[in-house]
Structure 1
Amino acid sequence: MSEEAGRLPKEPVDRITRPLARFLRIEAAAGGALLLCTALTLLLSNSPWSAPFLAIWETQAGLHLGAIEFSRSLKHWINDGLMTLFFFVAALELKREMVLGELRSPRMAALSIAAALGGMIVPAALFLLVVGDGDSVHGWGAVTATDTAFVIGCLAVLGTRIPHSLRLFLLSLAIFDDIGAILVIAIGYGSALDPAALGLAGLGVGVVAGIARAGVRNLPAYFALGGAIWLALDVSGVHPTLAGVLLGLMTPARSWVSDHRLRSILGRVTAYPPGEHWSGDTADRHDLRRAGVATREALSPIERLEILLHPWIAFLIMPLFALANAGLPLSAEGIDAPLTLAILLAFVFGKPVGVVTFSVVAVTLRLAILPAELSWGLLAAGSLLTGIGFTMALFIAELAFDPSLIGAAKLGILAASIVSAGCGLLALTWLTSARRQTALTDKRP
Structure 2
Amino acid sequence: MDNPAPASKDGKLQSMPKELIDWVNKPLGRFFRIETAAAGILLAVTILAMLLANSPWSAQYLALWQVEAGINLGPFGLHLTLLEWINDAVMTLFFFVVSLELKRELVLGELRQPRQAMLSVSAAIGGMAVPAVLYLLMLWGAPGAHGWGMVMATDTAFVIGCLALLGRRIPVQLRVFLLSLAIVDDIGAILVVAVGYGEALNYQALALAAAGIMVIRGMALLGIRNLMLYFLMGAAIWLAVEHSGIHPTVTGVVLGLMTPTLKWVSDARLHQILDAVIAHPPGQNWSGDTLARMKLRTAESAAREALSPVERLEIVLHPWVGFVIMPLFAFANAGVPVGETNVTSPLTLAILLGLVLGKPLGIFLFSWLAVKLNIAARPVQLSWSLIAAGGCLCGIGFTMALFIAGLAFSPIQINEAKFGILLASAISALAGMLIIKLTSFPQSLTYSSSEESVDFTFDQSPQRGKNKR
Q: Normalized against structure 2, the TM-score is what?
A: 0.86
Where is the helix percentage greater, Structure 1 or Structure 2? 1
Select which of 299, 320, 328 maps to 2:336. Answer: 328
Q: Give me the whole-angstrom Cα distance separating, in 2, the residues matched to 1:132 and 1:124.
A: 11
- 1:110 matched to 2:118: yes
**2:416 corresponds to which residue?**
408
Q: Give me the whole-angstrom Cα distance separating, in 2, the residues matched to 1:301 and 1:59.
A: 37
Select which of 326, 333, 345 maps to 2:353. Answer: 345
User: Structure 1 regions of 5+ residues with no counterpart?
Assistant: 7-21, 440-445
- 1:133 matched to 2:144: no
User: Structure 2 regions of 5+ residues with no counterpart?
Assistant: 1-8, 15-29, 448-469
**1:29 corresponds to which residue?**
37
Q: Give me the whole-angstrom Cα distance separating, in 2, the residues matched to 1:203 and 1:320.
A: 32
Select which of 277, 281, 292 maps to 1:269. Answer: 277
Note the aligned Cα RMSD (angstroms): 2.2
Amino acid at match of 1:116: A
- 1:147 matched to 2:147: no
Provide the aligned length of Structure 1 versus Structure 2. 423
C-alpha displacement at 1:77, in angstroms? Answer: 0.8
**2:464 corresponds to which residue?**
none
**1:172 corresponds to which residue?**
180
Q: Give me the whole-angstrom Cα distance separating, in 2, the residues matched to 1:84 and 1:113.
A: 23
Amino acid at match of 1:384: C
Counterpart contact for 1:147–1:392, Cα < 8 Å: yes
**2:394 corresponds to which residue?**
386
SS at match of 2:71: strand
**Alpha-carbon displacement from aligned partner over 1:101-145 (angstroms, at most 9, x marks no partner):** 222101111111111111111000000011121011111111110
Q: Normalized against structure 1, the TM-score is what?
A: 0.90
Deviates more, 1:363-372 or 1:409-418: 363-372
Q: Go from structure 1 to structure 2 and tell me whether the alpha carbon gap of 1:149 and 1:333 turns closer, same or farther (over 3 Å shift).
A: closer
What are the within-5 Å matches in structure 2 for residues 357-436 of structure 1?
Answer: 357-433=365-441
**2:230 corresponds to which residue?**
222
C-alpha displacement at 1:164, in angstroms? Answer: 1.2
Q: Give me the whole-angstrom Cα distance separating, in 1, the residues matched to 2:386 and 2:444.
A: 13
Counterpart contact for 2:336–2:419, Cα < 8 Å: yes
C-alpha displacement at 1:163, in angstroms? Answer: 1.2
Q: Give me the whole-angstrom Cα distance separating, in 1, the residues matched to 2:258 and 2:146.
A: 32
Instruction: State the 4+ residue runs in structure 1 displaced beyond 6 angstroms.
Output: 333-336, 434-439
Q: Give me the whole-angstrom Cα distance separating, in 1, the residues matched to 2:398 and 2:249.
A: 18
**2:69 corresponds to which residue?**
61
**Alpha-carbon displacement from aligned partner over 1:148-189 (angstroms, at most 9, x marks no partner):** 111011011011221111111111111111111111010000
C-alpha displacement at 1:333, in angstroms? Answer: 6.2
Identity %: 59
What are the within-5 Å matches in structure 2 for residues 18-97 of structure 1?
Answer: 25-64=33-72, 67-97=75-105
- 1:292 matched to 2:287: no
Select which of 219, 229, 233 maps to 2:241. Answer: 233
Q: Go from structure 1 to structure 2 and tell me whether the alpha carbon gap of 1:383 and 1:24 turns closer, same or farther (over 3 Å shift).
A: farther
SS at match of 2:394: helix
Q: Give me the whole-angstrom Cα distance separating, in 1, the residues matched to 2:289 and 2:31.
A: 42
SS at match of 2:70: strand
**1:313 corresponds to which residue?**
321
Counterpart contact for 1:26–1:311, Cα < 8 Å: no
**2:286 corresponds to which residue?**
278
Q: Go from structure 1 to structure 2 and tell me whether the alpha carbon gap of 1:334 and 1:234 turns closer, same or farther (over 3 Å shift).
A: same
